[in-house]
Homo-oligomer: A and B are copies of this chain.
Amino acid sequence: MSAMLFPRAAVVGIGLIGGSFALAAREAGLVGHVTGVARSEATRRGALDIGAADEATADAAEAVARADLVYLAAPVKSICEALGTLGPHLQPGALVTDAGSAKVAIVEAAQALPAEVTFIGGHPMAGSEQAGIAAARADLFAGCNYFLTPEAQTRPEALKKLENLISGLGAQPMVVDAARHDRLVAITSHLPHLLAWALCAVAGESGDPAELAPFVAGAWRDTTRIAGSSPELWAEIFRANAGNLAALVERFAEELREAEEALAGGAGGRLVELLAAAREIRERIAES
């Protein structure tokens, strides 16, 4: 057991991420009493059943009122809304953090919080195309990078305490500027998700599902796995990071045009060069 860091935690949005956080933090003895917040009664029951929460409620304001840690694990827009409304209900000295995949919008929304609470944005590089409390597991964050986006005014003790909590979950806390986070995660996660959905859409226009099914192998399964993710959740992430994503989509379209030209060109050398250069980038990222 680690030292108890937060005697009372409220997990607002106790689904895959919130539920996994609560399971891991309770198992490690890092948090004491956990109140799980979910609109759906089935989710609340699920959180109690798997031992992610001691009590469960649909009322976030009530849940955060006595919490010294508030963990917001809802879709981005809901996190922003919660940051806008929960302020008056928070305890002075409470630490508020979140698990949203786009950080600039959330850090901005957090400016609505009273000065007596500390907000530090977070983003665990973990997840699954699955969703919901039923998919939660205590080891979801084990070994993953967990980004934290403190601001200039963030108290170092609060950051240190949150880093200890993250380390205690088995994850690697990494401090990063929110804008830089959003720019880079757009490349490694948001664009791949959008491409996976666009690929499925092209397949739907180009062939009948039953006709395509026998032609599916590892390439299709791997590249479209993330297209099984929640459209509602991801539409919010895309919109919260729309500027970075739109710029990447433009660049991607240019890459495709270049590949098309090389494909149509007389000699095969240019196409091989393009593919080899791209492969090398992947290797350099993997080796970094």
Contacts and interface: CB of A to CB of B under 8 A. Distances in A.
A239 B263 contact: yes
Nearest to A176: B214
Given A192-B223, A201-B277, A256 B255 contact: no
Nearest to A229: B279
Interface string A191-229: 111111111111111110111111111111011111111
Copies of this polypeptide in the complex: 2
A153 interface: no
Contacts of A284: 209
A264 interface: yes
Given A272-B235, A275-B235, A278-B201, A249 B245 contact: no
Contacts of A144: 217
A125 B214 CA distance: 9
A271 interface: yes
B279 A198 contact: no
Interface in A260-288: 260, 263-264, 268, 271-279, 281-288
Nearest to A224: B282
A266 to B, nearest CB: 10
Contacts of A259: 194, 197-198, 249
Chain A, interface size category, equals 35 or more
B234 A202 contact: no
A157 interface: no
A201 B253 contact: no
Nearest to A251: B202
Nearest to A269: B235
A156 interface: no
Contacts of A252: 198-199, 202, 256
A276 B233 CA distance: 11
Q: Which of A205, A211, A272, A278 has the most CB of B within 10 A?
A: A278
Contacts of A212: 184, 187-188, 285, 288
Interface of A: 125-128, 144-145, 147, 174, 181, 183-185, 187-189, 191-207, 209-220, 222-229, 231-232, 234-236, 238-239, 242, 245-246, 248-249, 251-253, 255-257, 259-260, 263-264, 268, 271-279, 281-288
